[in-house]
Structure 1
């Protein structure tokens, strides 16, 4: 660690090299964590083990840096712009698969960003100018020619210490003793001190003594000493170890190991059952076999709030893929893997508009590397491109609610180029791709796609096609300043989606129509349409479109001068968009909150929010992306705030907002609280609840049931239940007891005095 830190202080690129399993990643992570304070703009981990497509390298780095660029610029340009003045450390982990591409990207970033440093791990050096490399050694072993160490001293040698720690996890209380010390030392020496080898071997103590373990290691390595002399000894040792670990698995565990190797990143039990079952493994057997592989350290268990997931070390995954190919099963399992994730994408699309929407968004995020692998397979295999185009289309909301919008458009563009046939699948892909293009402000490309889609819809006679063409054509018209034309197109979309019974298209068309009516000053129709969109969402228990509908309604309420209600509506929308980590939605919410603050003559707050927005829109790639017609409100807010504060005070407040981290900006927007001591004159933190919701929360805290609350307030019980659901959602709670605790915490001391 000391040497790596010294090298990082002298060089802007340090690469840790060494055989797989030697501990390069762990060392790099520890160094990066210790050095965090030296990099005020962050330390960022970029995991490349599952990446095989060089074209996605820059995009993967952008995703790791949480950059959400909705523009059509190349990802590398976005990276360069973002990092140009940043003092940050990027950890590129597992570069060996894309070593030349990593070298080119790193060279470009270091040339353009003079304060950036890169710490890389790879099985070979990147080979760029100025690079310093450190060959990560295996763990220290006792000197074979030195004096015999005491038992206590032997236990402190790195390799032995790791073995003892891992053995202790299998056999509580395990220690180096006079009886086992020689066998322990020889096991560690046979394994050359490789951490991965030691960990895989230690788990065998579940069934073997240390001496038996040593005996079996001797047998295995004796059989494998005739390996290629062109391969480093440690590579031969690791291969021998993995061979040995494989041989100690049962036949069915070996088979499952090989089949699981088709997964990229991690997987859950359901996926393992679907992809790996059959032909020798019953679906009901998979759980026990997975447990066996976890026990043998072939699979690593990962705990997530929703479910346990499993990950295979890259070395073991490649080994399993070789075994799968040798068994002649690779093609079958790769197809099964693709078909499973094809079904997952389709199921997510089918359940998009309903109460399970947010869990689906989260699940797709966890499965992104597998979804990417399914797309890569589809577009690489002859005759499968149409399937890939369908998957990319089904993932529309995955692309626009996460870090992957540019990647999603890339897949859709690729699929459309490979699938020119006039099919319904192509029509769906065209309107899907057009929305991504609109968000990226690539308006002409979107218009061209919609023109083709309109003609294709007429040819196919599919009612859904002209409905979506009208919707997205309305967005194009708004971007081009043709408000009246946009209103007509949105009204057509509303009518068509009602006729086809499509709540997704209907809600989206109503949201856009509400914004268009508001923009041209038709307040009554804007509110009526906005409330209808909320009703459509509520009828299906939907949240994401509802957040945007709430935002749109907030814009019109603000225009009418009801600033308090408008702020409550935007806060409600922001809480949901923040929980989903939707940067576009968050950005629009902050915009409207800034406009409201300026209207309330809270100019200091407005300026700070404008400063925070600079970071949001930079990460998105375009200000008010997809909502560019609202820019006049932004300009009016900025002009009024600048005039009220004066140039110097305005710039100072904007800089103060720009210095806020993402989480600090959210806290300030929702609670009016800056980090550290409160600024003089700042208001007390505001509640995210509306006055009505606050009243109901007080009754919840008093222990009243839904029926009793409804009777007390003379409202329908269903209405009371809806309020309580929104209270729980806004506060991020899942129980009434949490609401009661929150209410108690909101009371000021004088409230308690008055109550007494």
Structure 2
């Protein structure tokens, strides 16, 4: 069965120009070796080339092409974790990541390695040794030095030499001219390179050394200036800045010149905002810019206008998301803006404002997450991870500021999906606790939050001393809030250990304490866990507790919380002998889990549905769902062994199914479920037919229905045995266009070869004649 191509490569928003040789050479090197590093100066187009190579090689890597942007990382310890989070491995150690990659044929695109050069080299070497099918494509300003690493220097786009005669059709001969013409046409409709302007255009591209970033920035200036005017201003700036940067190579001087020039063209307010925006990592929204960057020459009311001007000048990029508009800056431009702030005191003051904004954001999220905006908060906190990491790193690096890191990291506890994994939260809290040993409420809270995180990692022994110290400190300070937190997490630890009676007593106490303090969100979490303890204990109060948890979450429209309340209520109904009403409720929980992208919750729902269906004597489907649940557990690198309160129910269900189905039938059903994709598993559990089985080819009789008219025309030529070059000549189109159409045809039909297209087209023609 053909597997669906996966990965996270972003769609191309602008046309890809040139690079035919580099594309072919990079693909050849990846086919011949295990690792290729694209090197070259900033702005030369390494990232764009890497993504294009990955997209064109999608059929070679059935387990996906995964882009890992390392530019936002400020801590080398997060390198493994960032890669793991991106590819779906939620245990951030090298051994787990290696095991996850074992047997998978996938491509890792490690982008912007230069600031973590040694760490990237060590990790790449280990992963390549452990996973024989793995390929790595890296971008860096210098080689990583990994054994057997293939290097390819990415040159500037082709430009005419100084002694070459400039042709009127220069666009057809030089990549840099073609890029400039393409980008200018996007902002100045109708622009073309012709006899009148070809000389100036080619001279401009030559003076810019064919660097894509420089050319794209210059193209934007065509909104207000002519090519000759740009050249006039560029000449003066080149001469001026070359004297101060002679140690840099020419291309780097040229890029610096253009960025300096872009900065010069900005108004004083725009320059100031550019510099202040450089404190953000991974982008920001308007609210963040207003909070951090206003004042001292830019009023809060003026921020939006100045921000818009920076977008128009291509200093900022707008990114529309479901949560609203975000603004991102190219890393080269962000670093430039930061370097413009020469005064160390100004830098520290800006970082403090950014840190305080992150601290306020985390505090608001903790206070407001249990409500109708719960999903928005979950999305927002995930979006701001890079900013939060930067704020934490600053707080832990700046003397006397570790207290803020304690507050920020501890405030994230109620958002299990906030961190890339529990180990990331533990990483920050462990460092902060070590630097801030004095007795304080912040330390007491950080201790029980850290205990919660290590419990989620499956390490109850590590949680015990943290909880002991937290309780002692809370009692010493007389802090009822932190005492409530300690009691709560101690009860959670008992629940995971299967000591349901003790868990019930502690969690009941925690609910009362949280309510007395006026903490509805925290009280609900304790109530939900109390409901689980009651259900598994067989306590008569379980039904009322489950109903209360469900009603409270529904009353405030907290969908993520509702999904968990539905799950435990369905579990209670099943345990009380009512599988008929438990089944639709568990399915409702699963639908919400899918919306929330909560894979841990999806696995729990699949388990619950398997248990319910086993009691309904739907043994084959129950075994299939157990297999599907295992697939999800495996995808997030965890298992039920770390959730002791549920493991017993799984063991009982599996034993009964093995007995009723017999070993061979159980194994076949379980294997079927374990080979489903996530979407297929959810559709199977809901007994809904997916749009099309993942990895299955389009039925031969229906191949034409998903293709455009042009694609059907090209598919017929493919079936006749024509090459891409012959197709291009026959239809009078560019060979690259023909190649793109063929790739689209293969993707739409889930085919891996041209022969499959020929076979399907022949079958279609035979069917038409019958």
What TM-score do you get using the length of structure 1 for normalisation? 0.86
State the shift of 1:22 in Å. Answer: 0.7
| SS of equivalent to 2:284 | strand
Alignment of 1:314 onto 2:331: yes
State the shift of 1:441 in Å. Answer: 1.4
Is the CA contact (8 Å cut-off) linking 1:166 and 1:202 kept in structure 2?
Answer: yes
> Of the candidates 134, 141, 148, which is equivalent to residue 123 of structure 1?
141
> What residue is the counterpart of 2:116 in the other structure?
98
> Of the candidates 528, 531, 544, which is equivalent to residue 528 of structure 1?
544
Alignment of 1:24 onto 2:43: no
| SS of equivalent to 1:271 | helix
State the shift of 1:646 in Å. Answer: 2.9
Counterpart CA distance in 2 for 1:326 and 1:156 is 47
> What residue is the counterpart of 1:653 in the other structure?
669
Matching of residues 444-483 of structure 1 within 5 Å: 444-483=461-500
Alignment of 1:76 onto 2:94: yes
State the shift of 1:585 in Å. Answer: 1.6
Is the CA contact (8 Å cut-off) linking 1:401 and 1:580 kept in structure 2?
Answer: no
> What residue is the counterpart of 1:2 in the other structure?
24
Is the CA contact (8 Å cut-off) linking 1:402 and 1:582 kept in structure 2?
Answer: no
Matching of residues 49-64 of structure 1 within 5 Å: 49-64=71-86
| Gap regions ≥5 residues in structure 1 | 679-756
Counterpart CA distance in 1 for 2:110 and 2:137 is 6
Q: Deviations over 1:577-635 (max 9, x none)?
A: 22222222222111101111222222232222222222322344432376312211111
Is the CA contact (8 Å cut-off) linking 1:612 and 1:660 kept in structure 2?
Answer: yes
Q: Deviations over 1:692-748 (max 9, x none)?
A: xxxxxxxxxxxxxxxxxxxxxxxxxxxxxxxxxxxxxxxxxxxxxxxxxxxxxxxxx
Counterpart CA distance in 2 for 1:85 and 1:562 is 43
Counterpart CA distance in 1 for 2:200 and 2:193 is 10
> Of the candidates 176, 197, 203, which is equivalent to residue 214 of structure 2?
197
In structure 2, relative to structure 1, the CA distance for the partners of 1:434 and 1:328 (3 Å cut) is: closer
Alignment of 1:390 onto 2:407: yes
> Of the candidates 413, 422, 426, which is equivalent to residue 443 of structure 2?
426
> What residue is the counterpart of 1:357 in the other structure?
374
Alignment of 1:575 onto 2:591: yes
| SS of equivalent to 1:22 | coil
In structure 2, relative to structure 1, the CA distance for the partners of 1:319 and 1:332 (3 Å cut) is: same
> What residue is the counterpart of 1:67 in the other structure?
89
Counterpart CA distance in 2 for 1:647 and 1:54 is 48
> What residue is the counterpart of 2:398 in the other structure?
381
Alignment of 1:46 onto 2:64: no
Is the CA contact (8 Å cut-off) linking 1:67 and 1:403 kept in structure 2?
Answer: no
In structure 2, relative to structure 1, the CA distance for the partners of 1:641 and 1:125 (3 Å cut) is: same
State the shift of 1:191 in Å. Answer: 0.4
State the shift of 1:260 in Å. Answer: 0.7
> What residue is the counterpart of 2:532 in the other structure?
515
Counterpart CA distance in 2 for 1:307 and 1:47 is 22
In structure 2, relative to structure 1, the CA distance for the partners of 1:63 and 1:311 (3 Å cut) is: same
Is the CA contact (8 Å cut-off) linking 2:378 and 2:417 kept in structure 1?
Answer: no
Alignment of 1:491 onto 2:513: no
Is the CA contact (8 Å cut-off) linking 2:161 and 2:206 kept in structure 1?
Answer: no
Is the CA contact (8 Å cut-off) linking 2:586 and 2:609 kept in structure 1?
Answer: yes
Counterpart CA distance in 1 for 2:221 and 2:690 is 54
> Of the candidates 126, 140, 158, which is equivalent to residue 140 of structure 1?
158
| SS of equivalent to 2:600 | helix
> Of the candidates 629, 633, 653, which is equivalent to residue 645 of structure 2?
629
Is the CA contact (8 Å cut-off) linking 2:451 and 2:466 kept in structure 1?
Answer: yes
In structure 2, relative to structure 1, the CA distance for the partners of 1:139 and 1:252 (3 Å cut) is: same
Counterpart CA distance in 2 for 1:509 and 1:283 is 41
Which has the higher mean CA deviation after the structures are superposed, 427-436 or 387-396?
427-436
Counterpart CA distance in 2 for 1:493 and 1:50 is 39
> What residue is the counterpart of 2:293 in the other structure?
276
> What residue is the counterpart of 2:261 in the other structure?
244
| SS of equivalent to 1:329 | helix
> Of the candidates 225, 240, 248, which is equivalent to residue 223 of structure 1?
240
State the shift of 1:377 in Å. Answer: 0.9
Counterpart CA distance in 2 for 1:560 and 1:647 is 29
> Of the candidates 573, 585, 590, which is equivalent to residue 557 of structure 1?
573
Q: Deviations over 1:249-289 (max 9, x none)?
A: 11111111111111101111111111111111112111111
State the shift of 1:323 in Å. Answer: 0.2
> Of the candidates 663, 671, 695, which is equivalent to residue 687 of structure 2?
671
**CA RMSD in angstroms, aligned pairs only:** 1.9
State the shift of 1:239 in Å. Answer: 0.8
In structure 2, relative to structure 1, the CA distance for the partners of 1:292 and 1:642 (3 Å cut) is: same
> Of the candidates 351, 358, 377, which is equivalent to residue 341 of structure 1?
358
> What residue is the counterpart of 2:613 in the other structure?
597
> What residue is the counterpart of 1:405 in the other structure?
422
Counterpart CA distance in 1 for 2:596 and 2:534 is 28
State the shift of 1:199 in Å. Answer: 0.6
Counterpart CA distance in 2 for 1:552 and 1:567 is 12
Q: Deviations over 1:546-570 (max 9, x none)?
A: 3222211111211223223212221
Counterpart CA distance in 1 for 2:686 and 2:394 is 44
> Of the candidates 538, 542, 558, which is equivalent to residue 542 of structure 1?
558
Is the CA contact (8 Å cut-off) linking 2:323 and 2:379 kept in structure 1?
Answer: no
> What residue is the counterpart of 1:181 in the other structure?
198
State the shift of 1:511 in Å. Answer: 1.9
Q: Deviations over 1:97-136 (max 9, x none)?
A: 1111100000000000011000001111111111101101
Counterpart CA distance in 2 for 1:415 and 1:600 is 51
Is the CA contact (8 Å cut-off) linking 1:52 and 1:98 kept in structure 2?
Answer: no
State the shift of 1:145 in Å. Answer: 4.1
Counterpart CA distance in 2 for 1:478 and 1:356 is 29
In structure 2, relative to structure 1, the CA distance for the partners of 1:222 and 1:500 (3 Å cut) is: closer
What TM-score do you get using the length of structure 2 for normalisation? 0.84
| Gap regions ≥5 residues in structure 2 | 1-22, 695-770
Which has the higher mean CA deviation after the structures are superposed, 636-645 or 296-305?
636-645
> What residue is the counterpart of 2:724 in the other structure?
none
State the shift of 1:164 in Å. Answer: 0.9
Counterpart CA distance in 2 for 1:346 and 1:207 is 45
In structure 2, relative to structure 1, the CA distance for the partners of 1:265 and 1:530 (3 Å cut) is: same
> What residue is the counterpart of 2:224 in the other structure?
207
Counterpart CA distance in 1 for 2:245 and 2:197 is 34
In structure 2, relative to structure 1, the CA distance for the partners of 1:497 and 1:305 (3 Å cut) is: closer
Counterpart CA distance in 2 for 1:78 and 1:677 is 30
Is the CA contact (8 Å cut-off) linking 2:563 and 2:589 kept in structure 1?
Answer: yes
In structure 2, relative to structure 1, the CA distance for the partners of 1:364 and 1:90 (3 Å cut) is: same
In structure 2, relative to structure 1, the CA distance for the partners of 1:209 and 1:656 (3 Å cut) is: same
> What residue is the counterpart of 2:179 in the other structure?
162
Is the CA contact (8 Å cut-off) linking 1:401 and 1:582 kept in structure 2?
Answer: no
Which has the higher mean CA deviation after the structures are superposed, 208-217 or 614-623?
614-623
| SS of equivalent to 1:446 | helix
| SS of equivalent to 1:21 | coil
Alignment of 1:109 onto 2:131: no
> What residue is the counterpart of 2:716 in the other structure?
none
